[in-house]
Amino acid sequence: MGALLIRDVTLIDGTGSPPRPGARVLVDGARIAAVGGAGLTAPLGTEEIDGHGYFLLPGFFDCHVHFMGEGPDLLGQLLKPPSYLVISALERMRRTLEAGVTTARDLGGTDRGIKMAREEGRIAGPRLQVAVRILSITGGHGDLTFAGSAATVEPHIMEELVDGDGVLAGVRRVIREGADVVKVCTTGGVLSPGDDPRHAHFSPEELLVIAQEARRQGRRLAAHAQGSEGIKNAVRAGWTSIEHGIFLDQEGIDLMLESGTFLVPTLVAPRAVLEARDRGLPVPEWAIEKTKRVLEAHQENIARAHAAGVRIALGTDSGVGPHGQNLRELSLLQEIGMTPLEAIVAGTRHGAEVMGLQEDLGTVETGKLADMVLTDVDPLANLSALVDPDRIRVVIQDGRLMKDLR
């Protein structure tokens, strides 16, 4: 990796500051050496990118993906062998990177080996934090057994069922297997056959045991939490982020503000379920009915949380929907009341903060790792256009050109 100068570009640096036309950014190796204006010069032999007519942003974060799946056809995915899922995941990771996402948090399914391969340069994809498996109660969101049916489903690579005295051992198992973040289902969900997204799962006492052990071992915590009681139980136990937050109420909003808990709304996920049905994909009718029941509440409660000042980070739950369209979530955040600049911060600086990477990533500033994207779209005028990966013209990760469509 040599030096790289991006010149005469409009910089949106991810801090929330207004755009800076005519900016220059100098990259030296993996890091940003300097950010300035026309007076910023580069050493002889530096590669240059003419940024005239382009907008430069930090590499985006997706704080909620599942690379081991794609689409809500649960039965179809259960029938695939693990080796097939891994091969498919590699292509999905490349698509995600080329869509402008340079860092992602895989919250169930992807193991430490895929993360290691990416770090060693064997595969291309976002920088990863992984949960390895989702922890769920028996009969909860991670339990794919149909209530009362003769069929049972063996534990899948994406989840592990733990209850009562077994929750401590469950946390320790996923940490032993390389989990950077501990993912727990504190409520039921939409794409699970035998539960209700409004119902709380795990007792407050179980959640405290999980949280204490995760923090003791330096791990962050993510809660699949859709119902109001399960959201509040996770916030009170000290969770880092609430995923989905569909039935978030005012008490929950107040608790999140007091605790500084992040909200990762995944607004695109329920839409992806209905769109898959419309494309003729096999989606169970019970999943369609659940999705229809949550859509309006999801939109309204995330809007209320944003208006109250809850910190929001971008996450898509890609795996429910297609990978590589991650930046669609930006325009959905705009629909619930965010300005385009606020939505960009949700997808950059706030994502880095959720993952504990804010010292190195999330903004275009001197000394940080050189993760950046170059687009020919003015995102403040046409944020929705970023969903098209072809409008992400250049992707830089760790100072390397990973995509160049100039």
Residues known to be catalytic: 183, 317
Cα gap 259→239, rounded to integer Å? 9
Cα gap 47→120, rounded to integer Å? 24
3-state secondary structure 175-232: HHCCCCEEEEECECCCCCCCCCCCCECCCHHHHHHHHHHHHHCCCEEEEEECCHHHHH
- Residue 35 and residue 366 in contact, taking contact as beta carbons nearer than 8 Å: yes
Cα gap 282→326, rounded to integer Å? 22
Kindly write down the DSSP assignment for every residue of 61-97, as one continuous string.
EEEEE-TT--SS-HHHHHTS-HHHHHHHHHHHHHHHH
- Residue 67 and residue 106 in contact, taking contact as beta carbons nearer than 8 Å: yes
- What is the CB-side half-sphere exposure of residue 113 using CA atoms within 13 A? 8
Q: In Å, what is the CA distance from 328 to each residue of 16, 59, 158, 284, 344?
A: 20, 15, 25, 25, 12
Sign (positive or negative) of CA dihedral 278, 282, 284, 290: negative
Give the 3-state secondary structure percentages of the chain, helix then strand then coil, rounded to 5: 35, 25, 40
Q: In Å, what is the CA distance from 348 to each residue of 169, 302, 371?
A: 34, 19, 10
Sign (positive or negative) of CA dihedral 33, 37, 41, 47: positive
Length of the chain: 406
Cα gap 3→379, rounded to integer Å? 27
Q: In Å, what is the CA distance from 87 to each residue of 82, 108, 114, 122?
A: 9, 16, 10, 13
Q: In Å, what is the CA distance from 303 to each residue of 18, 290, 315, 336?
A: 23, 21, 16, 5
φ, ψ for residue 100 (rounded to 5)?
Answer: 105, 0
